[in-house]
Amino acid sequence: MNLLSTKPLSMLLACVLSMLPVIAGADTLERVRASNTLTLGYLPDFAPFSTRVGDKANGYAMDLCLKIADQVKTELGLPSLQVRLEAIKIAEEVSAVSSGRIDILCTPTAATLERRKSVSYSIPVYTAGLSAVVHKHSPEALIKVLNGEVANDGPTWRATINNGLARQTYATAEGGVTEQWVRQQMRLLGVIATLVTVKNNDDGIKLVADGKADAFFADRILLKSRIARDYPNGELVVLGRIYEYAPASMMVERGDEDFRLLVDTVLSEMYRSGEIEQAYDKYLGGISDSAKKLFSAYALP
């Protein structure tokens, strides 16, 4: 073999190998350093977690994210680092993070295996509780079943559940863990009903208010916030029952352990110092004893 002919190949291999670290691992902090900008993404109409106010944003998640931004400034030695806020749509959550368009999604979301193929998550910052909103004039049988007021005593219980839930129209946000849960429950109980998916919580709540859906399922705190804001006359009711709990976290780029470690360190310190509890009291209406126990479990040592 002519040794001279291998030189171009060797040069090509060297170029490819030199690119591997860039391709294989995300480096949010270096990207932030190079641009002198940290981009905080958020869902603009998710009170009390994140709400757009003019060119700014506030809420529980935004307070936490700003603390993370302060630590990034310290870590990089860039006190004049620009912190940019970018409102995104629900459908853009994963792609905005995975593409590097935003450096972190502040609004907490529940992790799924499908999402984790594209992004990673911080430690939990909130425990979501799945509940439902109904119209105050909804059938008593439906409300009783949704509230869990039917005794669990075998076949009679199952039949009563079906009678209360069948031939109704339910709604949930499209593509999330809530939709998966509702569909699973309908299959397990053999309920013949209609499930409608919507783009956001406002659309789902409006379906119930307009009589086009019998119940809309979503996080209880989000539901209560929306009802208090848009339907203060009492025509809609958020049920007291919580069907499922799910830890919700901030979304970060997949494979970037350095940035994820920074985020988790800030959040863990906020848990231990009581700062998260203060933010919880400020935006989420106070913290329960069970939530306090989860705080100590979520914080990393």
- pLDDT tens by residue, 76-110: 999 999 999 999 998 899 999 999 999 999 999 99
Predicted local distance difference test score (pLDDT) of residue 174: 87
Q: How confident is the model at residue 70 (pLDDT cuts 50, 70, 90)?
A: very high
Question: Mean pLDDT in the chain?
Answer: 87
Exposure pattern of 66-95 as b/e (b: 16+ CB <10 Å)?
ebbbeebeebbeeeebebebbbbebebbbe
Predicted local distance difference test score (pLDDT) of residue 166: 82
Tokens (6 digits) for 198 = 């919507």
Predicted local distance difference test score (pLDDT) of residue 283: 94
Residue % of the chain over a pLDDT of 70: 87
| 106-118 average pLDDT score | 93
pLDDT digit string, tens, across residues 215-270: 999 999 999 999 999 999 999 999 999 999 999 999 999 999 999 999 999 999 99
pLDDT digit string, tens, across residues 6-40: 444 444 444 444 444 433 457 999 999 999 999 99
| 143-168 average pLDDT score | 67
User: What span, in angstroms and rounded, lies between the C-alpha atoms of 252 and 242?
Assistant: 28
User: What span, in angstroms and rounded, lies between the C-alpha atoms of 47 and 52?
Assistant: 9
Tokens (6 digits) for 143 = 């409300």
| 273-279 average pLDDT score | 94
Tokens (6 digits) for 266 = 């800030």
Asked if 219 and 128 touch (Cβ cutoff 8 Å), the reply is yes
Predicted local distance difference test score (pLDDT) of residue 2: 41
For residue 163, give Cα distances in angstroms to 79, 190, 207.
62, 11, 22
3-state secondary structure of 271: helix
For residue 19, the 8-state DSSP code is H
Predicted local distance difference test score (pLDDT) of residue 148: 86
User: What span, in angstroms and rounded, lies between the C-alpha atoms of 151 and 157?
Assistant: 6
User: Has residue 4 got a pLDDT over 50?
Assistant: no
| 116-145 average pLDDT score | 94
User: Has residue 160 got a pLDDT over 60?
Assistant: no
For residue 117, the 8-state DSSP code is G
Predicted local distance difference test score (pLDDT) of residue 150: 65
Q: Which of 32-46, 106-120, 141-155 has the lowest mean pLDDT?
A: 141-155
Asked if 46 and 219 touch (Cβ cutoff 8 Å), the reply is no
| 263-284 average pLDDT score | 95
Asked if 218 and 130 touch (Cβ cutoff 8 Å), the reply is yes
Q: CATH code for 26-127+248-298?
A: 3.40.190.10
Domain-by-domain residue ranges, the chain? 26-127+248-298, 129-245
User: What span, in angstroms and rounded, lies between the C-alpha atoms of 93 and 123?
Assistant: 18
Q: How confident is the model at residue 162 (pLDDT cuts 50, 70, 90)?
A: low
How many other CB atoms are found less than 10 A from the CB of residue 261? 12
User: Which among 54, 70, 4 has a CA at the least distance from the CA of 269?
Assistant: 70
Predicted local distance difference test score (pLDDT) of residue 256: 96
First and final C-alpha spacing in the chain: 59
Tokens 């709540």, located at residue: 205
| 201-208 average pLDDT score | 94
Q: How confident is the model at residue 277 (pLDDT cuts 50, 70, 90)?
A: very high
Predicted local distance difference test score (pLDDT) of residue 12: 47
Phi first, then psi: what are they for 245, rounded to 5°? -115, 145
User: What span, in angstroms and rounded, lies between the C-alpha atoms of 150 and 156?
Assistant: 10
The C-alpha R_g of the chain, in whole angstroms, comes to 23
Predicted local distance difference test score (pLDDT) of residue 157: 38
Asked if 76 and 12 touch (Cβ cutoff 8 Å), the reply is no
Predicted local distance difference test score (pLDDT) of residue 272: 94
Asked if 270 and 295 touch (Cβ cutoff 8 Å), the reply is no
Asked if 268 and 38 touch (Cβ cutoff 8 Å), the reply is no
Predicted local distance difference test score (pLDDT) of residue 161: 52
Architecture of domain 129-245: 3-Layer(aba) Sandwich (3.40)
Predicted local distance difference test score (pLDDT) of residue 262: 98
Tokens 């506030």, located at residue: 58
User: What span, in angstroms and rounded, lies between the C-alpha atoms of 265 and 246?
Assistant: 21
Asked if 197 and 179 touch (Cβ cutoff 8 Å), the reply is yes
